[in-house]
Structure 1
Amino acid sequence: MPLGLYLHYPFCRNRCSYCDFYKELHDTKLQKQFFDALRTETDLIAGQCGKRRVRSIFIGGGTPSLMPVELLEDWLAQVRDLFIVEDDFEFSVESNPESVSLELLQSWQSLGVNRPLFGVQSFDPQLLKLLDRRHSPKDSHRAVYHANALGFASFGLDLIFGLPGQNSDKLSADLEQFVDLAPPHISFYQLTIEDGTVLADRVADGSIKLPDEELNLAMYRAGVQKMEEAGYRRYEVSSFAKPGFECRHNLGYWEGDEYLGLGPSAHSFIDGQRLFNYDNLHRYIETLDKGHLPQVVDESGLDERMTEAIMLGLRTTQGISRKRFVKRFGVSLRDRLDQSHYRRLVESGHLLPDRGKLRLSDEGFYLVDEITRCLIK
């Protein structure tokens, strides 16, 4: 089976107030050491798993739009030498709008990137400042203009809701601009307050206040309605695409397909085993300098992995294949569900047990977290 290949590029210009992904402040010398280590990791991982077929590449971060093109080009040449990259592969790269230029997108395009992603988050300058984002609304519009000018058939924008100070009117203004720009893909996700972030400290000390659950639900409903009216199809709770422009890489995650993760903090699922890379760049580099892979085996048990599969599957409109669940875990999906809650959710219309699958109804998607918590044994 072809697999997905993920690279975590760990450098940023600054630390956004809400982000808890592993990152280091950009440093040219350390970046060179990272790419040297990455090439070693790529060699070692290919030697371990063989010359596998790759159906998608996804570079996240961090801020991948800070990557020197020549270092990216060298790594991609190595990937193409060690793996079989399929002709119709999907190649996504995340970016921050302020670091996107026409020249950068042209370079990416020449290297095979066919799905640039722009972390717009909002067009409201006050909300961008709250998030410690460096870009302006003009930067976001310019990035989309460049993508269209270069003929990218597929690209995506991120939109966030549930921000302090955000209300339905502010979100509506953002939605209007997103829909007007007509990206093939929109990620529309609710702010999550992560421990250890600046935003978490501000919430804890009361200096900022989050929208309540009722307002968040109203904003999510408004977003879904607006995007569906504009021709987008929700295929996962936070993911909306024009038909045919769903993210194939992420679908692989949600459906339990194999993937390789490279770079600090990246995860892999290969040959039935889950692996985590060290979430420390210096330890990552030092380990690879010694010729060892910087990873540990995930020791979570079968119950935890089945729970995760149910949680991820219910977030997609395709739902969970009962047959595939049994094949993957050797246990029926029914045996993992609380039957009293299951019957009640089916009767209420929130769960749709049809065609060999278990999936949520449209109304069920608005309560996905609550449903998942009560449904799993």
Structure 2
Amino acid sequence: MSFKTELTRMWFTRSLEPFTFTNEYDNELDYGKAEQLGLYVHIPFCRSICNFCPYCKEIYDENKMSEYIDALIKEIHLVGSRYKEKKTVTSLYFGGGTPALAADRIGDIIGALKEHFVITDGIGLELHPDNVEPQTLRKLKEAGVTRISIGIQSFLEKYGSVLGRKSIDIDAMNRALDEVPFDTVSMDLIFALPGQTIEDLKSDIDKAFETGANHVAVYPFIDFTFTKSPVKAMPKRQKRELMDEMTEYFEEKGFYRSSIWTFSTKEEAKYSSMTRENFLGFGCSATTLLKDSFKVNTFSTKEYCKRITEGKLPTSLTIRFRKRQRMVYYLFWTSYSTRVNIRDFEDFFGVPLKKMYGFEIFMAKLFGYITEENGMLTLTKKGAFYFHYYENYYTLSYIDKMWGLMRKEAFPTGMKL
């Protein structure tokens, strides 16, 4: 673990106690009183494995995927039957892997979820560029999907080859998106690649919107220790310059900024499975965040299916939050949206934000990281970069360590972060 993240954790939690995960698991999840609850479903199968991707995935096999989805639906019923009344949730997102490979059964999964939940704010699903063709898109739309996110990474061939991706048929993609429209069409791009310039990024951004996107996510490349990517991280100063130039370009175009990395043609065009107060996760590697706890499902599809067959939830690691730990988690992921509503924090925790972190807010204003207006704290351009800077440390110190372990062990005995 890096000294910076450890020091930050101790300061904000006011404790030397690390984040401690154990291998106990909840067979019943107390989500009944959770407000602003979201849903996430993980489909881990891919036609091929990208060398830069850190997520839980494996090579597609029709029989394995069928068995997995049967288990997934059973997990949904195990969790959903906890309460007799249907629980209202904000949204549902499918991630992976390549969930569009399960297009024929997405409707079955959504149907199972709707037996227990009322989804009020749309359904999103990730696609590989190869999936963007009319037949697949129609199946997804008929199943209830309203938002899609396409993993472009880069339209430029020089970066496609670096990332192990083949060239994209832009005209075919454009025709398919015209033929089968969605409320949100998001496209994922990557910045901070070797030798990448602002002109390269502008080219990718323009091409995304020309090809049918109304929302773009431009994520930084992060060099996880357990991936096989040959790409090396871009130096800090160069990355900041590139990020600032990218942000200025979006601002010049008049786009709406919905998070650190995401911009859209209008506020209504949104796609984010991350900035939610509470959520339930289904499938291998999926996480569940509630008021007092956070749990992670096993990364092993085999052990996942086995647990479900036994009538047990596939939880691998769980943390019981101390109040300050939960506050740090809340503030970190809420800040990802570039905005923290002071009143929302007090409603969630029952204590004023400035009582808990008044000094930190004062200093952040003093150094030009945030502004405050009408009860809203907003990251400045400088603040957004330094959020990214610490998010990168957090990812490599916490997520890299946890995912690295869980890729090796289906049910570790525990972990301290």
**Superposed pair shares fold, TM > 0.5:** yes
Mapping for residues 81-92 of structure 1, pairs under 5 Å: 81-86=115-120, 89-92=121-124
For structure 2, the residue ranges without an aligned partner over 5 or more in a row are 1-34, 393-417
Counterpart of 1:67, as a letter, is: A
2:88 to 37, 53, 58: 53
Change in Cα spacing, 1:255 to 1:97, as seen in structure 2 (3 Å) is closer
CA contact (8 A) 2:294 2:318 kept: yes
Letter aligned with residue 142 of structure 1: A
Normalized against structure 2, the TM-score is what?
A: 0.78
Deviation at 1:166, TM superposition (A): 2.1
Unaligned runs of 5+ residues in structure 1 are: 203-207
Other structure's SS at 1:30 match: helix
1:359 aligns with 2:378: yes
C-alpha displacement of 1:338: 7.4
Give the Cα–Cα distance (whole angstroms) in 2 for the partners of residues 261 and 298 of structure 1. Answer: 15
Cα distance in structure 2, aligned partners of 1:369 and 1:93: 25
Q: CA deviation at 1:14?
A: 1.8
Residue 236 in structure 1 maps to residue 271 in structure 2 = no
Cα distance in structure 2, aligned partners of 1:4 and 1:290: 26
Match of 1:180 among 197, 207, 210: 210
Residues of 2 paired with 1:334 and 1:54: CA distance? Answer: 29
Q: Specify the SS of the correspondent of 2:91.
A: strand
Rounded Cα–Cα distance in structure 1 between residues aligned with 2:380 and 2:181: 36
Tell me which of the two structures has the higher relative contact order, counting C-alpha pairs closer than 8 angstroms and 6 or more residues apart. 2
Residue 51 of structure 2 aligns to a residue in which SS?
Answer: coil
Correspondence for 1:216 among 209, 232, 239: 239
In structure 2, the CA distance between the partners of 1:329 and 1:166, relative to structure 1 (3 Å rule), is: same
Say if 1:2 and 1:52, in contact at 8 Å, map to a contact too. no
Residue 42 (str. 1) matches residue 76 (str. 2): yes
Residue in 2 that maps onto 1:10: 44
Check 1:308–1:167 CA distance in 2 against 1; reply closer, same or farther (3 A cut): same
Equivalent residue, structure 1, for 2:320: 299
Letter in 2 for 1:58: Y
* Distance in 2 between residues matched to 1:262 and 1:189, nearest whole Å: 24
Distance 1:11 1:101, change over 3 A: same
Paired with 1:246 and 1:38, the residues of 2 have a C-alpha distance of: 29
Contact 1:175 1:223 in 2 (8 A): no
The 1:85/1:365 distance shift into structure 2, 3 A limit, reads: closer
Does residue 167 of structure 2 align to residue 136 of structure 1?
yes
Cα separation, 2, equivalents of 1:273 and 1:141: 46
Is the 2:124–2:271 Cα contact (8 Å) retained in structure 1?
A: no
Q: Greater shift after overlay, 73-82 or 151-160?
A: 73-82
Residue in structure 2 matched with residue 350 of structure 1 by the alignment: 369
* Aligned mates of 1:332, 1:372 — CA distance in 2: 25
Aligned counterparts of 2:252 and 2:219: Cα–Cα separation in 1: 18
For 2:369, the aligned partner's letter is H
Q: What TM-score results when the alignment is normalised by the length of structure 1?
A: 0.86
Q: 2:128 aligns with which of 82, 88, 96?
A: 96
* Residues 258-317 of structure 1, C-alpha deviations (whole Å, 9 max, x = no match): 321110011123464433211211111000000111124323433322112222222323
Give 1:372 shift.
8.5
Deviations 1:217-264 (A, max 9, x none): 2222222222233331112101112223343653xx4251x3211100
Please state how far the C-alpha of 1:12 moved relative to its aligned partner.
1.1
Q: After the TM superposition, which of the residue ranges 100-109 and 343-352 deviates more from structure 2?
A: 343-352
From 251, 275, 285, the counterpart of 1:265? 285
Distance in 1, matches of 2:260 and 2:40, equals 22
> SS where residue 295 of structure 2 aligns?
strand
Q: Residue 346 of structure 2 aligns with which residue?
A: 326
Q: SS of the residue aligned with 2:348? A: helix
Structure 2 counterpart of 1:227:
250
Partner residue of 1:152 out of 160, 164, 182 = 182
